[in-house]
Each structure stands twice: as C-alpha cells, then as structure tokens.
Chains A and B, each alone.
Chain A
C-alpha cells in the first residue's frame, strides 16, 4: 500500500464546476504539499500545509492532521486548470527535505 493515496485518479469536469481532489496518507508527517504538473511536464508548487487551510485565488487546500487527510478544491474551474495534481508529504522521520509523492490526479476541464 502506498504511503500517499490520491483520489480520484482521473477527473473530468465542465467549466465552472467546483472540483475536489483528495489525498490520504498513512504516516506521521510534518508538512503536505500540493503540486501542479502541466502537460509539458514542469511542476509548480501550489501549497505547503502543516495545518488548517490555505487559499490562493480559486484554489483552496485543507488538511486534517488527525484524520491524515487533505483536500484541494478548485472553484469556478477553467480549461487552463487541466493538469495533473500531485500530493506529496514530508515524513516526520528522516531527512527534513525528503518528500513522498502520490501518483497524481489527472484533471480535464472542458468548455
């Protein structure tokens, strides 16, 4: 079983829909990252969370440490949001900068 599980694996939405992508992890963590990977392959860091909630534009990320779960929400989705969204966690043990990654959620937003 992977230490980081994302759902759904694939998601298709129409423009304007509210989107939720989930991430569950099975180990103690010190931080959780949400990343966005565009079709060309480059990755952009969206959020880093240790607790609570963060918002940037139409993106909202939440984390529940007790339940070992995080969600990424996209409000008023747009075709340019189409990408792979990756959850990554920094474990409590080991080297401070090592991340463990989920397999990603592929989002396609259509007109």
Chain B
C-alpha cells in the first residue's frame, strides 16, 4: 500500500548531538513537509519542499536542516543548535496541482527525547 514511513518511532539523543529523522513516501507526491508538535500547541511547520533539490524554511526552521535529493525522501536533521528538541515530529506529503488544494498525507511520527 502507498503511504508515508517515518523512522524510528522513538528516538533518544544526548545533548550536543545531531540526529536525523527519516521520512519516505511512495505516493509519488511532489511536496513534502516536516512539522513539530508540542503539548497544547498546534502543529508548526519546520521545512517544506515542493520539488527535488529545493526546500523552504517554515515557521520554526532554526536548529533544523533538511535535504531533498530524491522525490521519495525528505530527511530532517535536528542539530545541536536546536535548544529544545524534545517533541513529536510529523512528516507529510501532498500532490501539487496549480490552483487546486490537495490533502496532505501524514506519517505516524517520531517522538524525540533528550537524555
């Protein structure tokens, strides 16, 4: 079945370490997104990409980096510059049709905790 796969489901990081969260989709979607979810807050956009080798910062990009070398993959690196990385991270994807809004498909998320 087509879908979005995020791995790992749980991730622990020591302070000062970079960590990379994986997101893979086999839906042939052009656009991919990374969101952060904190208790009591709505999802916030970290980065998004609408085409291979191109991506844009979202609302809270500081301390994060991404790459989009393949259409299917959009890994997110949480760097040591991110001072409060403990959160639930969700990856999503969607098609892009000019003038038409398309639903986003979400993965099951990765919960990142600092040791």
The answer to the question of A45 belonging to the interface, with a C-beta cut-off of 8 Å to chain B, is: yes
A98 touching B42, Cβ below 8 Å: no
The answer to the question of A101 belonging to the interface, with a C-beta cut-off of 8 Å to chain B, is: yes
Contact partner, A42, options B48, B98, B102, B106, Cβ 8 Å? B106
A97 touching B31, Cβ below 8 Å: yes
Q: Which residue of A is nearest B93, CB measured?
A: A97
The answer to the question of A109 belonging to the interface, with a C-beta cut-off of 8 Å to chain B, is: no
B37 smallest CB distance to A (angstroms): 8
The answer to the question of B41 belonging to the interface, with a C-beta cut-off of 8 Å to chain A, is: yes
A103 touching B109, Cβ below 8 Å: no
Interface residues of A in 72-111 (CB under 8 A from B): 86, 88, 90, 95-104
**With A45-B103, A50-B101: A101-B42 Cβ-Cβ less than 8 Å:** yes
The answer to the question of A43 belonging to the interface, with a C-beta cut-off of 8 Å to chain B, is: yes
Contact partner, B104, options A41, A99, A100, A102, Cβ 8 Å? A99
The answer to the question of B72 belonging to the interface, with a C-beta cut-off of 8 Å to chain A, is: no
- What is the CA–CA distance of A82 and B48 in the complex, to the nearest angstrom? 30
Contact sample, A vs B, 23 pairs, CB 8 Å cutoff:
A4-B42, A31-B101, A40-B109, A41-B88, A41-B109, A41-B111, A44-B106, A45-B106, A48-B101, A48-B103, A50-B101, A90-B101, A97-B33, A97-B94, A97-B96, A97-B101, A97-B102, A98-B45, A98-B48, A98-B58, A99-B43, A99-B45, A101-B43
**With A41-B111, A96-B96, A98-B48: A103-B103 Cβ-Cβ less than 8 Å:** no
Give B residues with C-beta under 8 Å from A.
31, 33, 40-45, 48, 50, 56, 58, 88, 90, 92, 94, 96, 98, 101-109, 111
A42 touching B31, Cβ below 8 Å: no
CB neighbours of A44 from chain B (8 A): 106
- What is the CA–CA distance of A49 and B96 in the complex, to the nearest angstrom? 17
B106 touching A43, Cβ below 8 Å: yes
CB neighbours of B40 from chain A (8 A): 103
- What is the CA–CA distance of A43 and B96 in the complex, to the nearest angstrom? 20
B22 smallest CB distance to A (angstroms): 16
The answer to the question of A14 belonging to the interface, with a C-beta cut-off of 8 Å to chain B, is: no
